[in-house]
A and B are shown apart, each in its own frame.
Chain A
Amino acid sequence: FSPVGKMFRPVVRLSTSGVRSLTRTRPCYSAPLASRCYSHAKVETDEEFDARWVTYFSKPDIDAWELKKGMNTLIGYDLVPEPKILDSALRACRRLNDLASAIRILEAVKDKSGPHKDIYPYLIQELQPTLIELGISTPEDLGMDIL
């Protein structure tokens, strides 16, 4: 099997988000104009989300704190980051001379995939050129994926 790029694009949502409109319970007087009482905030598209995070990690003089903050925040979201975001993060680790964090990031995204066992191999497959270029070994290569 080979997952088509579109299959997981742009980000893999782990929770079944369902139909948002049905969960609104705010009281709304039925105005003659039949306007819905939803928030008027602009919803960020998945592409915008990805681009924002790629830009974040691509900062040339990113510091260790920003890397930590970015990764911890990203892992806190209910999604598995796209390979391009991870690529950017791994390159940030390279700029910071931090191999351990690079391996930790790979472990973290594997854990984020949860029961979906096919996400992590796909990510590694997509990241393979970067991993080879930077010389990052996966946790599996180092025998750290087992107890």
Chain B
Amino acid sequence: MLHLTTGRVGCLLSKQAVVALTSSGARMSSHGHHEVSDSVDMSQPMYWDRLDTPLPDRPWKDVLDSTDKSLKQKEKGPWTALSKEEKIALYRLKFNHTYPEMKRPSHEWKTVIGGMFIFFGITGLVVFWQCHYVYPPQPHTFGEEWQAKQIQRMLDMRINPIEGFSAQWDYKNKQWK
């Protein structure tokens, strides 16, 4: 059970891994058709490709045809008698992905970034529409004329004359410092 939960959680982000787990976990076929099956028989030993758990509960291909069976017989003898192709075939019988294949980079990040930008764009459109149709008219105090008069009044009142606002105004030459 522990393996199940950690496996599921660890594979949440990787669609391929979930497919591999579900399709080959179900004892429907020897290779696994690599489609997502709706339910996995949890009472049976499962296969998994995990970096931190190298040897899963069952081999990848457990329904062996006659060539596989004869190869497995040959495996019982000295391994020096096996050719490279036979060794690779034995590995592929027992395991689905090699470690480099498990660690292959996926293109998922492009989907994620693309999805992010799409949502930013939609949000931008919503905000733009809102600015145009939802916001009430701006208060009259935002107008150019009013702002100018407001600044002049602030200078006349000597707002923050030492370090702040009026300190920036050159009263003698009637301009900003």
Contact = CB atoms under 8 A, between A and B. Distances in A.
A72 B56 CA distance: 9
B169 interface: no
14 contacts: A68-B55, A97-B75, A99-B75, A99-B79, A100-B95, A101-B55, A101-B94, A105-B54, A107-B98, A137-B84, A139-B98, A143-B88, A144-B91, A144-B98
A100 B84 contact: no
A97 B100 contact: no
A111 B99 contact: yes
A147 B98 CA distance: 9
Interface of A: 67-68, 71-72, 75-76, 94, 97-101, 103-105, 107-108, 110-111, 134-137, 139, 141-147
Contacts of B57: 68
Contacts, number: 79
A136 B87 CA distance: 9
B87 A137 contact: yes
Contacts of B56: 68
B98 A134 contact: no
B91 to A, nearest CB: 5
Nearest to B103: A111
B90 interface: yes
Given A68-B57, A99-B87, A75 B52 contact: yes
B54 A142 contact: no
B17 interface: no
A43 B80 CA distance: 42
A123 to B, nearest CB: 15
A75 B55 CA distance: 10
A18 B103 CA distance: 30
Contact of A72 (B53, B84, B94, B99): B53
Given A71-B55, A142-B87, A99 B82 contact: yes
B8 to A, nearest CB: 17
Contacts of B91: 99-100, 103-104, 142, 144
A115 B158 CA distance: 65
Contacts of A72: 53-55
Nearest to A72: B53
B95 A104 contact: yes
Contacts of B72: 97
B79 A144 contact: no
A99 B99 contact: no
Q: Which 5 A-B pairs give the minimum distances between C-beta atoms? A: A135-B79, A135-B80, A100-B94, A108-B54, A68-B55
